[in-house]
Structure 1
Amino acid sequence: MTNLDTRPGWARALPWVLLGVLVLAQICYPLTGGATRAGLTVGTVLLGCLLSVTHALLTRGARAAAALVATAALGGFAVEAVGVATGFPFGTYDYSGRLGPRLLGVPLVIPLAWTWMAWPAWLAALRLARHRAARIVLAAVGLAAWDLFLDPQMVAEGYWAWHSPTPALPGVPGVPISNYLGWIGFALLLMTVLAVAAGPAATAPDNRDGPMIALWLWTYASCVLAHAVFLGLPASALWGGVLMGVVVVPLAARLRRRSPA
């Protein structure tokens, strides 16, 4: 793990500033509705993507940032476009027009959400496993498990809908199980390519990863709380809390053990 941060002060502060703005936007989400909430959703994704790509660039270099964009943003758009056109690998679904401009039926903001969460999922996995294969699996599981929060929330808002949303997880109607299987399949592919394409600089934990680890932990905790208390989605709070917790809780415990008394 890198122990010395020689970046200028602005480079150290920028990811934390972006994280702070992102957290404020997410806190405002359940307090809004309608077009304001849709605009806040888009703005949050843009902030999250900017945060992840900026952090990758400032801490791991241009190669890692470019690899993140290529695998998550471009790859995410490609799989979404195929999904809308063919129903594979997520199931047959359509996006509404509430998330901004679309290309090939896919709102342009959607692949940026993959980019936003792929990077902290990868950095969290670096702290939980030593071998590349294990890291790929853990990062993919963490990213796919996040969708147990994301999809029920976005379907409830009417941002997208499945033609035949069955079979579904108990208590989570409107989202077929095929969607989650598609997520884990693509997440495994994404992380496999990212692990190679990002280069050696992205293969080890780094003490500059604080903002991304904080984002990962915040995302988990805030999603559980929001779904259980503010959004009226207790079943997705339970499913996401348990399955994303498989990779988040051990990380939190490890960080707690390493923190000074």
Structure 2
Amino acid sequence: MSVRVYSGPHADRRRGGGGALRALPWILAALTVLAQIAWPLTSDGTRDVLTAVTVVLFFLASASHALLSRGFFWALGWFVVSAGIGLGVEVLGTRTGLPFGSYEYADRLGPMILGVPAVIPLAWAMMSYPALLAARRLTTGPLLTPIVGAVALASWDLFLDPQMVGEGHWTWAQEGPRLPGIDAIPAQNFVAWLLVSLVMMLILDRLPRRRTDGAEGDGVPALLFLWTYFSSVLLNAAFEHRTGVAIWGGVAMGLVALPYAWSLWTGRD
């Protein structure tokens, strides 16, 4: 696997931290994976708590990695854009039905902000980070990278929405076309996710591209992105018995995840 090394001025000061601090994103990523492995083994209230905890751990893993490898202002810009857009569209969606369709949240995921669980904008943020980095590794260009990043982020919702609706964390009142095999979610939602993700990635890709330190690399976001992909396919195919979800998500997210995995494996940029 090749590692991009940033050797510009003040690289160490921008990243800061010693060995223990650099290990923090890896620790948080490992805890995220363990929490997701435990999720299908739990039920009811315990599963609700674990859902929220998993989002927080994933977010902290992404945030700590962004902070340590790209600096405070980069990480702040990423958070403001991703969580801000995520919260904004969710508030708009629950109040107007645009752009996702008519839906509402239950109150089982912790504190609410304007009728939206606080973990929801964190979920947008947590996944936007590895999606952006995957797109940047695979592509260049002011339009192609945001498009690939948008596919990487929006395709994740093909797994997420059916799982969370199945758990009763939000419900749909929207009528209209559905994707074959994903009857509970209107197709409009997935189209809207793609459009919102594209806007988000167009803005996030304005953040500077920085080569990361050889000891740090982008292993944490790569692990989180690829783990999310492969574990989501397995969860839906083998545990949740949602074959349609496994196929749709496996194909759509695989458009980015599989070339990304190959690029990491072969060391090609």
TM-score (norm. length: structure 2): 0.91
- The equivalences for 1:201-240 within 5 A come to 202=209, 207=214, 208-240=217-249
Cα deviation digits, residues 121-168 of structure 1 (max 9, x gap): 001111101223211111111000000000000011111011024311
Distance in 1, matches of 2:53 and 2:264, equals 30
Residue aligning to 2:167: 157
Count of aligned residue pairs for this structure pair: 256
One-letter amino acid matched to 1:229 = A
Distance in 1, matches of 2:176 and 2:162, equals 13
> Deviation at 1:79?
0.7
Residue aligning to 1:132: 142
Q: Identity, % of aligned pairs?
A: 46
One-letter amino acid matched to 2:251 = V
SS in 2 for 1:239: helix
> Deviation at 1:206?
6.3
2:56 counterpart (46, 50, 62): 46
Query: Would the aligned equivalents of 1:166 and 1:175 in 2 still touch at CA under 8 Å?
Result: no
> Runs (4+) of structure 1 moved beyond 2 Å?
3-7, 202-207
- Closer/same/farther in 2, CA of residues 226 and 48 from structure 1, 3 Å limit: same
- The equivalences for 1:37-186 within 5 A come to 37-186=47-196
Structure 2: gaps of 5 or more residues: none
One-letter amino acid matched to 1:238 = I
Query: Would the aligned equivalents of 1:168 and 1:176 in 2 still touch at CA under 8 Å?
Result: yes
1:247 aligns with 2:248: no
> Deviation at 1:204?
5.3
Distance in 2, matches of 1:237 and 1:215, equals 18
SS in 2 for 1:244: helix
One-letter amino acid matched to 1:45 = V
TM-score (norm. length: structure 1): 0.93
Distance in 1, matches of 2:21 and 2:136, equals 22
Cα deviation digits, residues 7-56 of structure 1 (max 9, x gap): 52123211111101010000000000111101000000011111111111
Distance in 1, matches of 2:73 and 2:142, equals 18
> Deviation at 1:203?
5.3
- Closer/same/farther in 2, CA of residues 68 and 48 from structure 1, 3 Å limit: same
Cα deviation digits, residues 65-108 of structure 1 (max 9, x gap): 11111111122101100000111110010001111222222111
> Deviation at 1:205?
6.6
SS in 2 for 1:94: strand
Distance in 1, matches of 2:69 and 2:200, equals 20
Distance in 2, matches of 1:123 and 1:42, equals 24
Query: Would the aligned equivalents of 2:6 and 2:210 in 1 still touch at CA under 8 Å?
Result: no
Query: Would the aligned equivalents of 1:42 and 1:109 in 2 still touch at CA under 8 Å?
Result: yes
SS in 1 for 2:104: strand
Query: Would the aligned equivalents of 1:138 and 1:247 in 2 still touch at CA under 8 Å?
Result: yes
